[in-house]
Structure 1
Amino acid sequence: MRAWRENPAAARWWHLVTVLVIAVSLIAQLVLVIQGTNVLVEDGEEAPSTAMRVVNFFSFFTVQSNILLGAGAAVLAANPRADGRRFRVLRIAGLIGISVTGVVYVTLLRGLVDLHGVAQLTNLGFHYLSPLLGVIGWLLFGPWPRFSPRVLVISLAWPVAWLVYTLIRGEIVDWHPYPFIDVGDLGYGRTLLNSAGVTVLLLGVGWLFATGDRRLGDRAGSDDVSRTR
């Protein structure tokens, strides 16, 4: 672990690859969205306007999680030891979001749509590669410690705001990004229950990152102290 942590060149390359995977996936999928040949338009269903499709695309938790993770990785590609209050919130929000994205997709959403070609590749980038790159990159390179309880609480404001936005917008445009929060099909009771389950998952994942951040930071500090003796 120490050898990886002390290799800023390797850290920069890892974070840069993370940014590139996310950027390519976002751009490629956005092109499909604009063309109307994507999973947002079901077979036999009339496609909404281009503007509506684009807004729908950026309303996915998956897309927002990838953007946050990519933004944090871009900062770290420039400075692997980056710090600051805003960076800390951005970093843990991206890590929590992308981890929940991967878990929810694999356990609940995988197999709901039949993907081919470019859409299959972007799906691989969004739901498999970016979660693995994000979490493994954090384990190998940190930086830690960065996540206090206050930072964790602030970072959770984003998924809460996303959920409120999704439910309100869903009522207006009759569209929900995921079947487990589709009020039209499930009703508010089941939707809120599912939302509570996702909230528990977010809290659990956040606690894991905060705990791991503290322990990895303590270990890194112990290594630094031992080398000065």
Structure 2
Amino acid sequence: MYLRTRPRTAGRLWMASRLWHVALLAIVAAALVTQIVLVCTGGADANSARGADDAGTATRLVRLFSYFTVQSNLLVMVSSLSLFLAPQRDGRLWRVLRLDTLLGIAITGLVFAVVLAPDIHLTGAALWVTIGFHYFAPPATLVGWLLFGPRDRIDRTTVARSFLWPAAWIGYTLLHGAVTHWYPYPFLDAGELGYAVALRNILFVLLIALAAALALARLDRVLTRRAAHRERLAP
């Protein structure tokens, strides 16, 4: 469904969307590049309460990109770039990408604030990285979606497909942890907690994600109808 927005209004909206998303892309990309530099030079990890370790650079980079936080922020970068290039972008795969971005970054912000933040005490560049990943990207991404859409992109099929990435990440994380005894987050550490507790924690987060996905789908329909109603009333 494409709303018949008047050309001048659409032009202003799309320009604002492009500016919003290119700024979001730039800030998240700067945080990611800074974190990669910190990892390569043995600096603090802005994603972990466990601090730096003595693993080799290659291992530290693999671990960096194993974090749900980093993968979510990568999705933010990809979707922001796509919306900068085409604010009304659509397509079946893109819809899944966009919903995964919204869900992933929302869960990143929520889990960090509730579970991880009390145990993380960073300074310097690592502090700025964690601000970018955990405090800036989540609200900026969600507010950008509320302000600019694009609308009518979240249906049941998209919701179902959006859980393929989290399921793959969970499988990878548990397998990687079983082999290396390293887990990206303490509440997933099956070695310390046992698989029953780790799986319980995973299920709890998945239920929150499902509730969030259904809420976003509902809100998307409501905002689509309201926008269509405004268009019908416009002279």
TM-score normalized by the length of structure 1: 0.94
Q: Find the counterpart in structure 2 of residue 103 from structure 1.
A: 110
RMSD: 1.8
After TM superposition, the structure 1 = structure 2 runs for residues 143-158 of structure 1, keeping only pairs within 5 Å, are: 143-158=150-165
Matching residue's letter, 1:23 = A
- Segments of structure 1 that go 5 or more residues without pairing to the other structure are none
Asked if the contact 1:5–1:140 (Cα under 8 Å) also holds between the matched residues in 2, the reply is no
Q: 1:82 to 1:46 in 2, by over 3 A?
A: closer
On the 8 A contact 1:18/1:133 being kept in 2, the answer is: yes
| Cα distance in structure 1, aligned partners of 2:151 and 2:64 | 33
> Given the alignment, which residue of 179, 198, 208 partners 2:205?
198
Asked if 1:28 corresponds to 2:28, the answer is no
Q: How is 1:216-227 mapped onto 2 (pairs within 5 angstroms)?
A: 216-227=223-234
The answer as to 2:73 corresponding to 1:84 is no
Q: For residue 194 of structure 1, report the CA deviation from its aligned partner.
A: 0.5
Question: TM-score, normalized by length of structure 2?
Answer: 0.91
Q: Give the 3 Å change call, closer, same or farther, for CA 116–46 of structure 1 in structure 2.
A: closer
How far apart, CA to CA, are the structure 1 residues paired with 2:228 and 2:65? 40
**8 Å contact from structure 1 (residues 12, 76) kept in 2:** yes
* One-letter code aligned to 1:155: S
Change (3 A) 1:136 1:4: farther
How many pairs align? Answer: 226
Extract unaligned runs of 5+ from structure 2.
none
Matched, 1:208 2:215: yes
Shift, 1:90, TM fit: 0.7
Q: Out of 8, 19, 41, which is 1:13 matched to?
A: 19
Q: Tell me, in whole angstroms, the C-alpha distance in 2 between the residues paired with 1:76 and 1:149.
A: 22
Of residues 106, 113, 117, the one that matches 2:124 is 117
Spell out the pairing of 1:52-91 with structure 2 (5 A cutoff).
52-91=59-98
Distance 1:24 1:186 in 2: 35
Kindly tell me: are residues 216 and 115 of structure 1, through their superposed partners in 2, closer, same or farther at Cα, counting changes over 3 Å?
A: same
